[in-house]
A and B are shown apart, each in its own frame.
Chain A
Amino acid sequence: MVASVQSDAPSDAVMELVGVRKTYPGPVEVLHGIDLTIGRGELLSIVGPSGSGKSTMLHLMGTLDLPTTGSVLINGVDVATLSDRQLSSFRARTLGFVFQQFYLIDGVSAVDNVANGLLYSGVSLPKRRSAAIAALTRVGLGHRLYSPPAKLSGGERQRVAIARALIARPAIVLADEPTGSLDTQTGQEVLALLRELNGDGTTVIVITHDPAVAEAMDRQVTIRDGLIVSDVARTLEVAR
């Protein structure tokens, strides 16, 4: 067992996993008891090889699934106590997602794809559009506002997806292998963008199998076979 170095996380915890276990029908236990506290404004990576339980962690932290035992608390709210409708609303306001496959909707312009990030929060169309334009400008795509996803490069598509995740100003952005479909150079740009987002106070959690990506984050949580094997905070802060 690698010695776990406890990071000096801010006392204001934005997400807490307490004794989380997840069993799938089979039965297969994927997570064997995860305890993790993430402070507000952290830039954190969860790294591990495939099959280690990363994706399950993402689903649980994203309230897309509930733990078998243990609890997930976001902003102090135990997600298990919320109904499906309440969870949906919770995701709309509190969480932003960035996926490896981007998941942009074909045949819909970049602006409208980004505007979809506010669709389920009850914001009117003109306000969604203007917020989407602002978000796209912020990720450096002010010149590709009305392009359909098919006309964008991989890096541009991921920027659109990031703009969609940040448009609702969520407390937490969950990024699942955000550089997995990109070349190294474009991947670096996307990571820089996530770091910039974090600079504004958003908690950013990157799930990856790539140690190089994990290295770029301030705190690295390594999991293997459903257990946390190390939790290292970078002591040498880059001046910011």
Chain B
Amino acid sequence: MSTAAAVRPARLSLTDTARVGASGLSARPLRSLLSALGIAIGIAAVTSVLGISASSQAALIAQLDSLGTNLLQVQAGQTFGGSSSSLPLTAEPMLTRIAPVLVESSVATVAANAYRTHYVPAGETNGIQVKAAKTNLLEALAGTMSEGSFITSATENYPVVVLGSLAAERLGFDHWIPNATVDIGGQQYLVAGIMNSMPLAPDIDRSALMGYPQAMNGFGMSAAPTTVYVRTTPDQVDAVGSVLPATVNPANPNEVTVSQPSDALSARIAANDAFNSLFLGLGAVALLVGGVGIANVMVISVLERRSEIGLRRALGATKGNIRNQFLTESLLLAGAGGVAGVALGIVITLIYATTRNVQLVVPVSAVAGGIAISLLLGAIAGLYPAIRAARLSPTDALRSV
């Protein structure tokens, strides 16, 4: 045996290091499982929060895309003195002359309430508004009918209404019944259909809509609209928005309010993010606790396995071999917890997505980040116990039994 060969320590291969680390874990399966669980719960919390928020955001974004962001809503604002104003009769004909305007429609408030029958006390209005609507309202709002049909050029002259989704619910229609009637202003109105919910115009959901001619005849309403909806070409939304007040009310442009209803949906997406940081914070706390748990288990493991450390030193393990063994053990523990946590997080997101009927979206950054964070935690948690194990003198380690 040559001395030169004897004094050059052999390097442990990566697979041997992993095997030695894994054998320490498999000797105490229950303890390994429980300490990996801490990390798994933290990672699952983080992954599912990111996954659920990404899934619901994807659903909101898809909704926003289908509804379009090119809708503008024009309403009468307030006069300079503070009293409420109204839109002039010329508003709609003027609007159609703006080139990028694709569709224009309007509603006007009718001074009446809708009841299921005339026996219902007058005070129980259920917050349902009665409005006159143009026949192309659905086209402008990208709305759809749940059942029945909307006001047509034929029915707009007669006592016929369509109900918003909430209005129908509050009037006691869980589904549309042909020939059903409601009572408006003491007269029976035929319910022609029920609309689906309209995220871009929530007030329509709470309304009963009739045709303009019927409203003017029955309630003496003027033809002036209360709210005008305008669809523009998508790239001209801001330009149209800026000229709308002067076009609608040239005499008092300041009394016109222009808004973009899709802003509300965009705000909901942003609001989601705010909630996320709260849950991510909770996930981070769980991860921290999990990391402390692993550090604790590793410290105990080093104390318990002094004789094994002594034996390995006697068999020729260097300090570095011993340090790597315990570090590998900690990394495997945390890594297994991380992988299990990511899997659990995906399952939680999948359950959410299927129950809410949205598309499953799990960000790659959540998966990669979750595993990376757990490995980092494992390295930090295992470092001190591993260094302690490496510094143990072989004789002390062998004496301690």
Contact = CB atoms under 8 A, between A and B. Distances in A.
A97 B397 CA distance: 15
Interface residues of A, number: 39
Contacts, number: 115
Interface stretch (A44-52, A104-112, A130-138): A104-112
13 contacts: A88-B313, A88-B316, A88-B318, A89-B7, A91-B316, A97-B311, A103-B308, A105-B27, A112-B23, A119-B16, A121-B10, A122-B11, A125-B19
B398 A99 contact: yes
B395 A59 contact: yes
B401 A101 contact: yes
A105 B315 contact: no
B16 A89 contact: no
Given A64-B398, A84-B318, A91-B314, A120 B12 contact: yes
B288 to A, nearest CB: 31
B27 A77 contact: no
Interface string B300-323: 000000011011111111111100
A148 to B, nearest CB: 10
B6 interface: yes
B242 interface: no
A171 B311 CA distance: 18
A91 B315 contact: yes
B316 A84 contact: no
A189 interface: no
Contacts of A95: 314
B391 to A, nearest CB: 11
Contact of A65 (B23, B321, B394): B394
Interface in B44-93: none
B1 A94 contact: yes
Contact of A64 (B8, B26, B314): B314
Contacts of A55: 399
B5 interface: yes
Interface string B8-26: 1111110110011001001
Interface in B225-260: none
Given A64-B394, A119-B16, A90 B7 contact: yes
A82 interface: yes
Contact of A82 (B7, B27, B394): B7
Contact of A120 (B6, B315, B398): B315
A103 B19 CA distance: 19
A53 interface: no
A86 interface: yes
Contacts of B394: 59, 64-65
Nearest to B3: A77
